[in-house]
Amino acid sequence: MDGSRVAVVASLTVIVGISVLSGPLVGVDFTASPAASVGPDLGEGAIDATVETLPDTGSLEKGGFGADAYALSIPPATLDVEAVSGQPLVVYTLEVPELGLTHSATYFLSPSNTGSVTMTIDSHSLAPDRIGADSYRGVLDVSVRIGESVRVLDRHNVSIEVVR
């Protein structure tokens, strides 16, 4: 047998072997569990924090270059974190009831996350047939989740202006 044929046979043997081992007959799991990568105490611990800034306005801007979709954008919020133990979760949420929209970003904090923490919510696209008003009222919420409990740090109304 020449070298190239040996390489092909060896590769096929490895592929077939792994397929059989991870298949339903043998059932060996070669994937890592998601919990192993984030630590055993995710969502547990304590946090001493206050909201420094929370925006009063947001915008729904019509896309450029012939795009019909509207992009919903909200400025960042700033959290002043005094102390963290464990890995509590901080959630920055926008709700717009008239549009049936809830959009949020979750932050996994650790003891190294003290000082000013900037939280952002990614832009969200909406179809133009959903936009009928010139502005919408939304609610911004910054909350901490530790275990099963949720503590709201700040919650207030936000005006979302439509830019056509």
Indicate the pLDDT class of residue 65, thresholds 50, 70 and 90: confident
66 and 100 housed in the same domain: yes
27 and 45 housed in the same domain: no
Q: How many Å separate Cα 76 from the centre of its chain?
A: 14
How confident is the model over 34-49, as a mean pLDDT?
A: 70
Predicted local confidence at residue 26, as pLDDT = 58
Cα separation, 138 vs 26, whole angstroms: 52
Predicted local confidence at residue 37, as pLDDT = 47
26 and 68 housed in the same domain: no
20 and 87 housed in the same domain: no
Closest C-alpha among 44, 69, 90 to residue 164: 69
The boundaries of the domain holding residue 9 are 3-31
How confident is the model over 46-66, as a mean pLDDT?
A: 91
Indicate the pLDDT class of residue 35, thresholds 50, 70 and 90: very low
Report which secondary-structure segment, H or E, holds 3.
helix 3-22
11 and 59 housed in the same domain: no
20 and 77 housed in the same domain: no
Predicted local confidence at residue 63, as pLDDT = 82
Cα separation, 147 vs 67, whole angstroms: 42
Q: Where are the beta strands (DSSP E) in 74-148?
A: 77-86, 89-96, 101-108, 115-119, 124-126, 135-146
123 and 144 housed in the same domain: yes
Predicted local confidence at residue 131, as pLDDT = 93
56 and 17 housed in the same domain: no
Predicted local confidence at residue 36, as pLDDT = 46
pLDDT digits (tens, 9 = 90+) for 91-137: 999 999 999 999 999 999 999 999 999 999 999 999 999 999 999 99
Predicted local confidence at residue 54, as pLDDT = 96
Query: Residue 159 is part of a domain; what is its CATH number?
Result: 2.60.40.10
Cα separation, 39 vs 36, whole angstroms: 6
Partner residues linked to 160 by β-bridges: 58, 136
Predicted local confidence at residue 21, as pLDDT = 61
Count the domains in the chain.
2
Predicted local confidence at residue 134, as pLDDT = 95
> What is the overall mean pLDDT for the chain?
86
103 and 158 housed in the same domain: yes
27 and 67 housed in the same domain: no
Tell whether the model's pLDDT for residue 39 goes beyond 60.
no
Q: What angle (nearest 5°) sits at the alpha carbon of residue 51, between those of residues 121 and 116?
A: 80
